[in-house]
Structure 1
Amino acid sequence: MAELLANSDDNGYKHNQVAVVAIPLPAQGHINPLFNLSHLIASYEIPVHFVGFVSHNRQAKLRAHGLDQTNSPVNIISFHDPPFTSLPSPREPNKTSKFPIHLQCISEVCHLLRHPTSQLLRALSAKYRRIIVIHDSLMASVIQDIKSIQNAESYTFHTSSAFTIFFTIWESIINKPFNLTSDIPKHVPTGNGCYSPEFNKFIANQYKLLNLSSGRLYNTCRPLEDKYMDLNTKLPANEKLKLFAVGPINPMMKASYKARSKNKHECLDWLDQQERDSVIYVSFGTTTSMAEEQIKELADGLERSAQKFVWVLRDADKVDIFKEDGLLKGHDHDQLPEGYEERVKGLGLVLRDWAPQLEILGHPATGGFISHCGWNSCLESLSMGVPIITWPMHSDQPKNSMLVTEVLRVGVVVKDWARRDELITSNAVESAIRRLMASNEGEGIRKRARELGNVVRKSAAKGGTSCSELDSFVSHITR
Structure 2
Amino acid sequence: MEKKTCIAMVPSPGLSHLIPLVEFAKQLVQQHHNIYVTFLIPTLDSPSSSMLSILNNLPSNINFTILPQINIQDLPQNAHFATKMSLTVKHSLPFLHEALKSLSSSTNLAALVFGMFSADALDVAKQFNLLSYVFYATGAIFLSFIVSLPNIDDGVFTDLTNTVNIPGYVVPYKVKDLPDPIPNERSSKSIVGTSKLLSLVDGVIVNSFTDLEGDAIRALEEKRLNGKSAPCVYPIGPIIQSKSTNNENQFECIEWLNKQPPKSVLYVSFGSGGTLSQDQLNELAFGLELSNKKFLWVLRAPSNSSSSAYLTRQKENPLDYLPLGFLERTKAQGLVVPSWAPQIQVLSHGSIAAFLSHCGWNSTLESVVHGVPVIAWPLFAEQRMNAVTLTQVLKVAIRVKVDDESGIVKRDEIAKVIKRIMEGNEGLEISKRIKNLSYAASATLSQNGSSYNVLSDLALKWQNI
The answer on 1:232 being equivalent to 2:220 is yes
Residue 458 of structure 1 is matched in structure 2 by 443
User: Which of residues 304, 311, 314 is equivalent to 1:319?
Assistant: 311
Partner of 2:320, secondary structure, is: helix
Structure 1 residue 442: Cα displacement: 1.2
Partner of 1:212, secondary structure, is: coil
Residues 161, 120 of structure 1: CA spacing in aligned structure 2 closer, same or farther, 3 A cutoff? same
Partner of 1:109, secondary structure, is: helix
| Partner Cα distance (1:268, 1:188) in 2 | 39
Residue 18 of structure 2 is matched in structure 1 by 31
- Are the counterparts in 2 of residues 373 and 400 from structure 1 also a CA contact under 8 Å? yes
1:159-238 aligned within 5 A: 159-174=137-152, 184-189=170-175, 194-195=180-181, 197=185, 200-235=188-223
The answer on 1:442 being equivalent to 2:430 is no
Residues 191, 209 of structure 1: CA spacing in aligned structure 2 closer, same or farther, 3 A cutoff? farther
| Partner Cα distance (1:389, 1:396) in 2 | 16
Partner of 1:50, secondary structure, is: strand
Structure 1 residue 240: Cα displacement: 7.3
Partner of 2:125, secondary structure, is: helix
Residue 249 of structure 1 is matched in structure 2 by 239
Residue 118 of structure 2 is matched in structure 1 by 139
Residues 129, 70 of structure 1: CA spacing in aligned structure 2 closer, same or farther, 3 A cutoff? closer
Opposite residue 197 of structure 2, the aligned amino acid is L
Opposite residue 353 of structure 1, the aligned amino acid is S
In structure 1, the gaps of 5 or more residues are: 1-11, 90-94
Residue 392 of structure 1 is matched in structure 2 by 378
User: Which of residues 87, 98, 105 is equivalent to 1:119?
Assistant: 98
Cα deviation, 1:60-81, whole Å, max 9, x if unaligned, reads 64353xx992653212012210
Residue 75 of structure 1 is matched in structure 2 by 63
Residues 191, 298 of structure 1: CA spacing in aligned structure 2 closer, same or farther, 3 A cutoff? closer
1:412-427 aligned within 5 A: 412-415=398-401, 422-427=407-412
Residue 293 of structure 1 is matched in structure 2 by 279
Structure 1 residue 301: Cα displacement: 0.8
| Partner Cα distance (1:42, 1:60) in 2 | 22
In structure 2, the gaps of 5 or more residues are: 154-164, 302-307
1:142-157 aligned within 5 A: 142-150=121-129, 152-157=130-135
Q: Which moved more, 1:400-409 or 1:80-89?
A: 80-89
Cα deviation, 1:422-455, whole Å, max 9, x if unaligned, reads 1110011011111111121111111111221122
Partner of 1:108, secondary structure, is: helix
- Are the counterparts in 2 of residues 283 and 311 from structure 1 also a CA contact under 8 Å? yes
Structure 1 residue 287: Cα displacement: 2.4
Residue 20 of structure 1 is matched in structure 2 by 7
| Partner Cα distance (1:263, 1:134) in 2 | 36
Residues 434, 190 of structure 1: CA spacing in aligned structure 2 closer, same or farther, 3 A cutoff? same
Opposite residue 88 of structure 2, the aligned amino acid is V
Partner of 2:354, secondary structure, is: strand
| Partner Cα distance (1:88, 1:333) in 2 | 31
The answer on 1:346 being equivalent to 2:348 is no
What is the Cα-based RMSD across aligned positions, in Å?
Answer: 3.2
| Partner Cα distance (1:88, 1:209) in 2 | 23
Structure 1 residue 457: Cα displacement: 2.1
Residue 308 of structure 1 is matched in structure 2 by 294
* TM-score for both structures, normalised by structure 2: 0.85
| Partner Cα distance (1:182, 1:37) in 2 | 25
Residues 229, 235 of structure 1: CA spacing in aligned structure 2 closer, same or farther, 3 A cutoff? same
Partner of 1:139, secondary structure, is: coil
Residues 420, 28 of structure 1: CA spacing in aligned structure 2 closer, same or farther, 3 A cutoff? farther
Residues 62, 198 of structure 1: CA spacing in aligned structure 2 closer, same or farther, 3 A cutoff? farther
Tell me the number of residue pairs that the alignment of Structure 1 and Structure 2 aligns: 440
Partner of 2:73, secondary structure, is: coil
| Partner Cα distance (1:154, 1:194) in 2 | 26
The answer on 1:367 being equivalent to 2:353 is yes
Residue 269 of structure 1 is matched in structure 2 by 255
Opposite residue 336 of structure 1, the aligned amino acid is L
The answer on 1:48 being equivalent to 2:48 is no
- Are the counterparts in 2 of residues 435 and 442 from structure 1 also a CA contact under 8 Å? yes
Opposite residue 156 of structure 1, the aligned amino acid is V
